[in-house]
Structure 1
Amino acid sequence: MNAAAQTSTPASTEPQARSLASRRLMSMTAGAVGLLATLAFTFYWVTTGRYLESTDDAYVRADWVALSPRVAGHVAKVQVNDDQPVKAGDVLVRLQARDYRARLGSAMAAVAEAKAAVTAARAHQQVAAERINQQQQAVLQAEAAVRSARAERQRSQLDLQRYRGLVRDEAATLQRLESASAQASQALATEQGAEAAWREQRAQQRVAKALAAQADATLEQRQAALARARAEQQLAELDEQDTVIRAPIDGVVGQRRARAGQYVVPGQPLLAVVPLQQAYVVANYKETQLTRMRPGQAVRIQVDGFAGKPLQGHVASFSPASGNVFALLPSDNATGNFTKIVQRFPVRILLDSPLHGPLRPGMSVVATVDTRDAEPADAP
C-alpha cells in the first residue's frame, strides 16, 4: 500500500508544476505589458499629453443678425420660409409702401418748388446787381453834371466881376451887367440842382446796394429751404426703401415671426439670418489652462453631433475678461465668506477645414489645444 502511494505522488505534482509555471508566465507577461503601457503612456505624456489643453465647455457660435424694420407699417408679403438659405441682398419682407410713396411724392414736389424759388431769387439778385451798375452810371453822370455846372458858375462869376469893372469904367452898359448877373444866378441854380441830383443818385445807389444785399439774403434763404427740402426728400426715399427688408449677409433664415398683414413698428424683431458658413467655436478654458496658450495654435475639435469626424482649427483670440466679469450680476468676493473658484475665459477658435454637414450654433464640442509651439518661449 505504501508503494502504491509513493508511485502516484510524482504523477499528481507534475500538473501542479505546469499550472504554476503557466501562472508565472502570465504574470510576467502581464507585468511586461503593464510596463510597456506605462512606458508608452509616459512617453506620450512627456512628448504630447502634457501640452494638450482640453475642455468640454465649448460650443459652436455664429454672429447671426436679428432683422427689424426701421419704419412702421403693415407687412405686405413675407418672401422667405423658415430655415431657408438666403444670399446677401435677397428680399425677405415687404411692407406696404403706399403712404411712404405719397410722402416721397410730396417731398419731391417741395424740392421742385424750392428750386423754382431759388431760380427766382437768383433772378432778383441779378436784377439788383444790374440796378447797382445802372445807378453807378447815373452817379457818374450826376457827378459830370455837377462839374459842368460848377465850371459854368465859375465862368459866370468871372463875367459878372468883369462887367462890374467895365460898368464902373463906363466901358459897358448896365444892361450887359444885368444880363451877366442873371447868367451867374442861373449858373448857381444849375449847380445846386446838379448837386441835388447827384445826392439823389447817390441815395438811389445806396438803396440799390441794400436791395442787392436783400436779394443775396433771400437767395441764401431759398437755398437753405432747397437743402432742407432735399434732405426731407432723401429721408422720404430712405423710408420708402426701408419698406423692403433685405438680407445683410449670406445665411439661413431663423426665428421667422413676420406674417402677412401684421402691423410692425421700428425695432420689432421679424426674423434672423444665421451665417452657418461663418460658424466658429467658443471654448471656456480654466485660467490655469491658459498659461501656454497662444493665438494661432492648432486645435482639435470633436463635435458631439458629428461623432468620429474631428475638425481642425486654430486659436484666434482670447476674451479680455472672464465670463463672470461680463455677467449681468457679477459676484462680489468682498462680501461674506470667500471661496476661491477657478474662473473660465472664453477662447475664440476658428475652423480650418469645413465639415460635410454644416455646423449649427449651439452644438456642443470638445476642444483640445496643442500648446507645444509655446514651450520654447517659456523655456529660460
Structure 2
Amino acid sequence: MSARAASEPLPTIHSVTTLKAEQERPHPVPVPARAPEAPARKRRSAKSLLLPILGIAVLAAAGLYGHEYWTEGRFMISTDDAYVQADMAFVAPKITGYVARLDAEENQHVKTGDPLVTIDDGDYRIALAQAEAQIDVQNKTLERITAQIRAGRAALGQAEAQKTAAAAAATNAARTADRTAQLVKTNVSTQAQLDDARTALDQANAALAGADAQVESAKANIGVLEAQYQEAESVLPNLRLAHDKAARDLSFTVLRAPYDGVVGNRSVEQGDLVSPGQKLAAIVPLNKLYIVANFKETQLPQLVPGEKVHFRVDAIDDAAFEGTVSSLSPASGAVFSLLPPNNATGNFTKIVQRLPVRIDVSEAALNSGKLRAGLSVIVDVDSRTAPPSTTASLH
C-alpha cells in the first residue's frame, strides 16, 4: 500500500450516501437561447406580399375566364362524344378461286382502279374461250343456212322457168288440138291426128302442173331454210350472253380499288381459297372523312346545319381544325341500337338521349393527312354562325 493511500482517510457511510444522491439527482436541461425575431418578421412580410399577389392572380384568371365565357364560351355547343368516320368499302370477291397474287400491301395508298388482289384465272379463261368457240360455230351454221337459202332461191327460179316453158307448151298444144278438130270437121285431118293432138295437150297440161308443184316445193324449201336460220340466229344472243358472262367472270379475277384510299384490315394471303362475299380488305377514303358527334338532346335547340365547327383530335397535339354541321340524324342512337330500350315496362329512369350529328371536315383538315377514321374528337359548334333563315326560325 502506498503512502498516499495510507494517508487518505476512508470515506464514511454518510459521505457515500451523499455522493450517490448527488449522482442520481436529475441535471437541469439547458434552455436554448431565443432566436432573433428578424427572420420571423421577414416571413410575415413575405406572406403579406404573397397573399395579395395570389388574390390578384385569382381575380385576373376569373376575369379572363369570365370574359372568354361571355364573348365565346356561352355560344359554343361542345361534346367529347365524337369520332372521325369514313364510308369505307370492303373488298370481297364475286367468284371462287385461289389467290394468285397480292398487288397491294397493308396501309398502302391506292388510286381508283389499282389492282388489290389477283385470283387464278385459268378456269375463267377456258370458259371464255369456249364461249367464243360456240359463237364461231353458230356463225358458221348461219352462213351454211344462208348458202342453202340462196341455192333454194336459185332452184325456185329454175322451177318458175320450167313452169313458163310448160305453160307455153300447153298453150301450143291447145291451139294444135283446136286446129286439128276443125280440120277433122272438114275431113282434112283424120281422127287419129286429133287424138294425138289432144294427147299432146294433156301431156302439156300435166307438165305445167308438175312445174307448178316444183315452184311450190322450192318455195317451201326456202321457207324451211329461213325458219332454220331464224332458229339458229335466236341461239346466238344466248351464246353472246354466255360469252359476256365468261368475260365478266374473268374480269372479276382482279379485285380493284373502287376509289382513292388506303388499304386496311387485309385478311388474305397468297394461295388462300376465297369465295364470293368473303371480306379480304377495306379501302378507307382519307379524302372523304367526316365526324359523327353525339350531342345531348338538351343541346339540340341551337344545332342547325350550316354552323361552323372547331374540333380537336385527341391523337394530334396542339392542332385545331374546322368543319361545318352537315345534317342531324332522324333518330337518336338508342332507336337504332340492336335492342332499343322499352320504357313502358318496369321502373322508369330518365336518361338524357344523344342524337348523332354529321360534321363535314374542311379541305385543310383533310389535306393535313393526320386524320384517321375512329379517332376521338372534341367538338365545339359556334351557334353564332347559324344561317340567317335557321336563326330566325329558332327565335
Asked if Structure 1 and Structure 2 have the same fold, meaning a TM-score greater than 0.5 normalized by the shorter chain, the answer is yes
| Cα separation, 2, equivalents of 1:31 and 1:263 | 69
Amino acid at match of 2:167: E
Structure 1 residue 362, shift from structure 2 partner: 0.5
Where do 1:211-360 residues align within 5 Å? 211-336=221-346, 341-352=351-362, 353-354=364-365, 356-360=368-372
Mapped contact 1:111–1:226 kept (Cα < 8 A): yes
Shift of 1:288: 4.2
Secondary structure of the residue aligned to 1:305 is coil
Q: Cα offset for 1:342?
A: 4.4
Match of 1:182 among 184, 192, 196: 192
Structure 1 letter corresponding to 2:208 = W
**Which string of whole-angstrom CA distances, capped at 9 and with x for unpartnered residues, describes residues 301-349 of structure 1?**
2211113211111122333333333333334445555555544332222
1:276·1:358 contact (CA, 8 Å) conserved in 2? no
> Are 1:277 and 1:358, in contact at CA under 8 Å, matched by a contact in 2?
no
What amino acid maps onto 1:361 in structure 2?
Answer: A
Instruction: Tell me by how many angstroms 1:270 deviates.
Output: 1.4
Which of 362, 383, 388 aligns to 1:371? It is 383
Cα distance between partner residues in 1 of 2:254 and 2:58: 75
- Which residue number in structure 1 is paired with residue 9 of structure 2? none
Kindly provide the amino acid, as one letter, of the partner of residue 174 in structure 2: R
In 2, Cα distance between the equivalents of 1:329 and 1:132?
81
Question: 1:213-264 deviations in whole A, cap 9, x for unaligned?
Answer: 2212221222233333332222222222222222222211111111112111
Instruction: Describe the SS at the equivalent of 1:306.
Output: coil
Task: Tell me by how many angstroms 1:119 deviates.
Answer: 1.4
Quote how far apart the aligned CAs of 1:101 are: 2.3
What's 1:152 paired with?
Answer: 176
Q: In structure 2, how many angstroms separate the alpha carbons of the residues matched to 1:35 and 1:274? A: 45
Offset of 1:297 from its aligned partner? 2.3
Unpaired segments ≥5 residues, structure 2: 1-48
2:134 maps to a residue whose letter is A
User: Are positions 1:83 and 2:84 aligned together?
Assistant: no
- 2: distance between equivalents of 1:209 and 1:155? 37
C-alpha deviation, 1:365, in angstroms: 0.8
Task: Tell me how far 1:36 sits from its aligned partner.
Answer: 5.8
TM-score w.r.t. structure 2 length? 0.75
How has the CA–CA distance of structure 1 residues 96 and 36 changed in structure 2, closer, same or farther, with 3 Å as cutoff?
A: closer
Amino acid at match of 1:356: S
Q: TM-score, normalised by structure 1?
A: 0.77
User: How many correspondences in the alignment?
Assistant: 344
* Equivalent-residue separation in structure 1 for 2:198 and 2:95 (angstroms): 81
C-alpha separation between the residues in 2 aligned to 1:291 and 1:49?
17
Give the conservation status (yes or no) of the 8 Å contact 1:73–1:263.
yes
Secondary structure at the counterpart of residue 282 of structure 1: strand
User: CA distance change for structure 1 residues 32 and 75 in 2, over 3 Å: closer, same or farther?
Assistant: closer
Contact 1:54–1:369 (8 Å) recurs in 2: yes
Shift of 1:67: 0.9
Per mean C-alpha deviation after superposition, the further-off stretch among 232-241 and 65-74 is: 232-241
Name the % identity: 37
Aligned counterpart for 1:106 among listed residues 104, 127, 130: 130
**Any conservation in 2 of the 1:110–1:229 contact (CA below 8 Å)?**
yes
Q: Return the offset for 1:37.
A: 6.4
Distance 1:137 1:332 in 2: 94
CA contact (8 A) 1:72 1:263 kept: yes
Tell me: CA distance 1:127–1:319, structure 2 relative to 1, closer, same or farther (3 Å): farther
Q: Alpha-carbon deviations, 1:92-130, whole Å to 9, x = none?
A: 222222222222222222222222112112222222333
Q: How does 1:14-25 map to 2 (within 5 A)?
A: none
Q: Shift in Å at residue 147 of structure 1?
A: 3.3
Rg bigger for which structure? 2
Amino acid at match of 1:131: A
* Structure 2 equivalent of residue 17 of structure 1: none
Query: What are the superposed Cα offsets for residues 252-305 of structure 1, whole Å, 9 maximum, x if unpaired?
Result: 111111111211112211111211222111122334433343333211122111
Q: Which residue of 1 aligns with 2:217?
A: 207
